[in-house]
Structure 1
């Protein structure tokens, strides 16, 4: 199941697919949400981002005065996400996308005029400064403080798991401005210049061998009062409103898993078990068949959730169900592929005998992150149980 069944949407899908084939940057696909590894990749991503905005495939829901389109619908955005996933091409950086919606809906005219054109051109990369060491799944527990001193706020604290933090020009920051208010109500949103004195960015070395995430420290960072997005104490509402725009990206996860099924089948035909192709094994075929059935069930759930969201009937646990199922299936499939490779499964990228250029090892090492980032699987299960099934808290 996919969007694009109508003639108009099918034609749009073909248009997007042709555009991606012609213009997508030649950056090797990698598992998960990854940063550029060098200056050349970063420059290519900036150029590609500008092309996506210019073509109207990203940012089409912006106000027309800033480059949006009146004829664009959420279904179009879903198709763009699916086609980017199918081509294994990068989309616009998530921090910039979220920040742009915060500015559009809550920012001042001056903030919009200053930043939106540069985001659209790919010249201004933003990172998302939300999560903290003690406030990940429970974001409202964040402790980074912003204290008003006349015309400025002084920021002290720490963020973590900041994608693109080492490349970003600006940060979309949540900080506590009223420590005495209930935890959801004392948070405000800010524009943060990542080059400001007192901002320290420390890349985190990951299991994959790359550094896509960062720790960010704030030591007496002064931020102008007019860098606040919205009103004091409005940060929690702004964050939730902007995160809702991620809904149109969920179609891509189904495409990703279907591509992984195809790759698993190909792998099973090339590796052997007891001297015969692994695909001849009933156990292997049954396992791949189980994955395929689970992916199609997730597809049905995903598009049912999207339909409810588009009609304004989304349930509180819909996103949690999709996120949980994707995270767990993705991890199981990657682990099975590494197991299927046998002894070669322990090799890493760069070894002569590594299968598929180390794709499955990279997938497996990164897959665990999906079960934690954006709300751990344990938190998702609690949310589904309490808000979806009405079960009592322990």
Structure 2
């Protein structure tokens, strides 16, 4: 059997597993947090099932539950099928923390944390971004000062998905302010229940609280909770972020599903025979196809260890901007009904397009803003001079 045929056989297996086991949830745009403890329990149980079936975590060492015959393209298939089903994803904080622990953690840390990630018992959040350190993460100001067998942590994080539910946090903090900013950062596995940790959910424009502010006031973190060595945090963070590329394929699936729903919406609103509407839908389809081809090529290069510096920025920029324009166009087709949310009587598709529009702008900011992506493509990919900042 050819490699492509084997992958399609695997896809059919994954799809059948999802059909039989995935929780039925309300379709919402973007990366969302549970709204209730019941939803949280559902997320934990679904996470455990995915790990148990080795559809997630197959790239881990066999000793920790991984698959010795793992193929990274299978991870892409799983992510695509989860997106296609419109069901829950394993929390990103869990997968990022797992990679940090697998490659830089101690044996004791791996034995303590990894089984509980696989079982869904521990939910992790990512404690990276700060009010003054988003796209320029190396400028973070949260400090961790050594005090005997502990580090004392003070500072603030923001945009922390699942922070209000997390058991543990994958924390970056500055342990040495005297060295260049990239070299003075360390990584920690932080118990979110420690005294001095305050979590404040942020009520967003979508009406939900998916992000949080997290404050640290003299939080005493055991020195044994450090992942890797002092000052190795920047390396660890980049390694764990670079490892997770399977979701790129899922983005194409998501945007193609949105386009299909947009075509269906144009039909229901009586606009499908309008030549201008058909032109716009066709133009969107062409952009999606171009994004799909680019994504497949970049994933193949990633698999072969030949990834280009512009692969991820181009995919991220193209998806986020196109996703926003799709949502904007859907609201234009709805006309006055486009302002109605799920709580309003008469909302079309239970306010699905309003929710998508309100969330879509976040995609153009999170994970590196569109402006940052364009700079990366121009400077690192095309060799153009760095942007001159007026003093």
TM-score tier by shorter-chain length is: over 0.9
Can you list the C-alpha shifts for 1:361-386, whole angstroms capped at 9, x where unaligned? 00000000000000000011111110
> Which residue pairs with 2:192 in the alignment?
194
> Which residue pairs with 1:12 in the alignment?
10
Match of 1:65 among 63, 66, 69: 63
> Which residue pairs with 2:358 in the alignment?
365
Q: Which moved further from structure 2: 228-237 or 305-314?
A: 305-314
Residue 321 (1) aligns with residue 314 (2): yes
Residue 136 (1) aligns with residue 134 (2): yes
> Which residue pairs with 2:252 in the alignment?
254
The Cα shift of 1:311 comes to: 1.3
Residue 374 (1) aligns with residue 367 (2): yes
Residue 333 (1) aligns with residue 326 (2): yes
Residue 159 (1) aligns with residue 152 (2): no
Structure 2: unaligned runs, 5 residues or longer: none
Provide the secondary structure at the position in 2 that maps to 1:179. coil
CA distance in 2, matches of 1:160, 1:317: 27
Residue 294 (1) aligns with residue 287 (2): yes
CA distance in 2, matches of 1:18, 1:67: 22
Can you list the C-alpha shifts for 1:175-226, whole angstroms capped at 9, x where unaligned? 0001011111110000100000000000000000000000000000000111
The Cα shift of 1:304 comes to: 1.1
Can you list the C-alpha shifts for 1:15-41, whole angstroms capped at 9, x where unaligned? 000000111112212100000010111
Match of 2:30 among 29, 32, 37: 32
TM-score when normalising by structure 2: 0.97
TM-score when normalising by structure 1: 0.97
CA distance in 2, matches of 1:270, 1:5: 41
> Which residue pairs with 1:106 in the alignment?
104
CA distance in 2, matches of 1:259, 1:26: 17
> Which residue pairs with 1:217 in the alignment?
215
Stretches (4+) displaced over 6 A: none
How many equivalent pairs are there? 386
Provide the secondary structure at the position in 1 that maps to 2:156. strand
Provide the secondary structure at the position in 1 that maps to 2:236. helix
Provide the secondary structure at the position in 1 that maps to 2:178. coil
Provide the secondary structure at the position in 2 that maps to 1:104. helix
Provide the secondary structure at the position in 1 that maps to 2:154. strand
The Cα shift of 1:72 comes to: 1.5
> Which residue pairs with 1:389 in the alignment?
382
The Cα shift of 1:317 comes to: 2.0
The Cα shift of 1:348 comes to: 1.2
CA distance in 2, matches of 1:174, 1:113: 22
Structure 1: unaligned runs, 5 residues or longer: 272-276
Match of 1:284 among 277, 280, 285: 277
CA distance in 2, matches of 1:303, 1:6: 13
Provide the secondary structure at the position in 2 that maps to 1:156. strand
CA distance in 1, matches of 2:70, 2:107: 23
CA distance in 1, matches of 2:373, 2:158: 20
Can you list the C-alpha shifts for 1:150-186, whole angstroms capped at 9, x where unaligned? 1110000000000000000000000000101111111
The Cα shift of 1:350 comes to: 2.4
CA distance in 1, matches of 2:360, 2:215: 27
Residues 376, 269 of structure 1: CA spacing in aligned structure 2 closer, same or farther, 3 A cutoff?
Answer: same
Can you list the C-alpha shifts for 1:201-252, whole angstroms capped at 9, x where unaligned? 0000000000000000000000011100000000000000100122111100
Provide the secondary structure at the position in 1 that maps to 2:190. strand
The Cα shift of 1:391 comes to: 0.4
Q: CA RMSD in A?
A: 0.9
Can you list the C-alpha shifts for 1:81-120, whole angstroms capped at 9, x where unaligned? 1100110111211001100111111001110111111110
The Cα shift of 1:5 comes to: 7.1
Match of 2:224 among 220, 223, 226: 226
